[in-house]
Amino acid sequence: MSASAEPKAWDARETRAFVAVPGEHDDKYSRGVLTLATGSLEYPGAAVLSVEAACRTGVGMARYVGPPEPTRLVVARRPEVVVRPGATNAVVAGSGVVRETIDPSQLLVITEAIASRTPLVCDAGLLEAEFLERVRDAGTACVITPHAAELARVLSSLGESVSPLDVSRDPEGSSALIADRFGVVVLLKGSHTHIVGPDLGHGARFRAQVSTTNHWMATAGTGDVLAGILGALIATQHSRVREDLAALGGVAASAAWLHARAGELASAGGPLVALEVAQSVSRVVTEVLA
């Protein structure tokens, strides 16, 4: 399944429209509350990276829910984070999570988000057909953030004979299959990141692309950073994205653009680490708003 026209090349101007700027009457709640059910005993750093990125993107409040050790690391890095579940406008789940050993508190947050149709970012450990069917059946607004191998795995579980190389050869077509099957926006990560929404009728769907020549971004943890950025943008735009899949696609494309630009700043032409990308996000937001 290949698209007949080129996807929109997303840039700073489009991104600006999805960055919420607080006003004089805003408080931490009205600016958006994000819950992150990320990290695990096996991958505690994913919690730190996703939370750091979310805070740097401009969310009003970040909540973290997870096992004791990732929680300790998150609070040590970001003491302003609330480490208990509560009212929230969006949830990030799956980054650094091992499905078989997921913490019960994280599972509860995710289950409640699906039931209440709270907008959701689904990454890594939760990229499975069974989970996405629950999201679809509940009508929960959701962005999934696979790389090619993860998308191929989901497609294969549905009976499609697809390899990661097949996904790389037809990224939009592969993403559209999943978007239509589960009613989600797919953010397919790579040097050319493709954002594809489900068919909205008469063949219309959200389609955008964010490209980078900064291949230093192919390093551990940068996907966790992207999940945090995306969750923060969704939390600040939660009313807009709940019923509008095109707006949800725009938020996803904007997160991909902020992520790519933060990587350029962190790299400056050389090696980088994921935490440096997260730390650069607030500078990128400032650039976009200038």
CATH code where residue 52 lies: 3.40.1190.20
Output the pLDDT for position 102.
95
Output the pLDDT for position 3.
46
Q: Is residue 22 part of a domain?
A: no
Secondary element (H or E) of residue 101: none
Q: Is residue 23 part of a domain?
A: no
pLDDT in tens, the chain (290 residues): 444 578 999 999 999 999 999 999 999 999 999 999 999 999 999 999 999 999 999 999 999 999 999 999 999 999 999 999 999 999 999 999 998 999 999 999 999 999 999 999 999 999 999 999 999 999 999 999 999 999 999 999 999 999 999 999 999 999 999 999 999 999 999 999 999 999 998 879 999 999 999 999 999 999 999 999 999 999 999 999 988 989 999 999 999 999 999 999 999 999 999 999 999 999 999 999 99
Q: Is residue 152 part of a domain?
A: yes
The position carrying tokens 């650039």 is 287
Residues 6+ apart with CB under 8 A from 133: 182
Q: Is residue 132 part of a domain?
A: yes
> Distance (Å, rounded) from C-alpha 281 to C-alpha 260?
10
> Distance (Å, rounded) from C-alpha 199 to C-alpha 10?
20
- Other CB atoms closer than 10 Å to residue 237's CB: what's the count? 24
Which pair of tokens denotes residue 3? 């698209």
Output the pLDDT for position 6.
87
**Count: domains in the chain:** 1
List phi, psi (to 5°) of 49: -65, -45
Q: For the purposes of burial, counting CB atoms within 10 Å of the CB of 52, is it exposed (0-12), middle (13-18) or buried (19 or more)?
A: buried
Output the pLDDT for position 2.
41
Q: Which residues constitute the domain of residue 63?
A: 8-17+28-289
Task: Decide: helix, strand or coil at residue 71.
Answer: helix
Q: Is residue 238 part of a domain?
A: yes
List phi, psi (to 5°) of 22: -65, 150
Q: What is the pLDDT of residues 77-133, one digit of tens each?
A: 999 999 999 999 999 999 999 989 999 999 999 999 999 999 999 999 999 999 999
Output the pLDDT for position 4.
56
> Distance (Å, rounded) from C-alpha 33 to C-alpha 107?
19
CA angle 82, 84, 90 (to 5 degrees): 80
Q: Is residue 249 part of a domain?
A: yes
Q: Is residue 106 part of a domain?
A: yes
Residues 6+ apart with CB under 8 A from 163: 152
Q: Is residue 1 part of a domain?
A: no
Output the pLDDT for position 174.
97
Output the pLDDT for position 148.
97
Looking at 54-211, which runs of residues are DSSP E strands? 61-64, 90-93, 120-122, 142-144, 185-188, 192-196, 207-211
Q: What is the pLDDT of residues 161-175, one digit of tens each?
A: 999 999 999 999 999
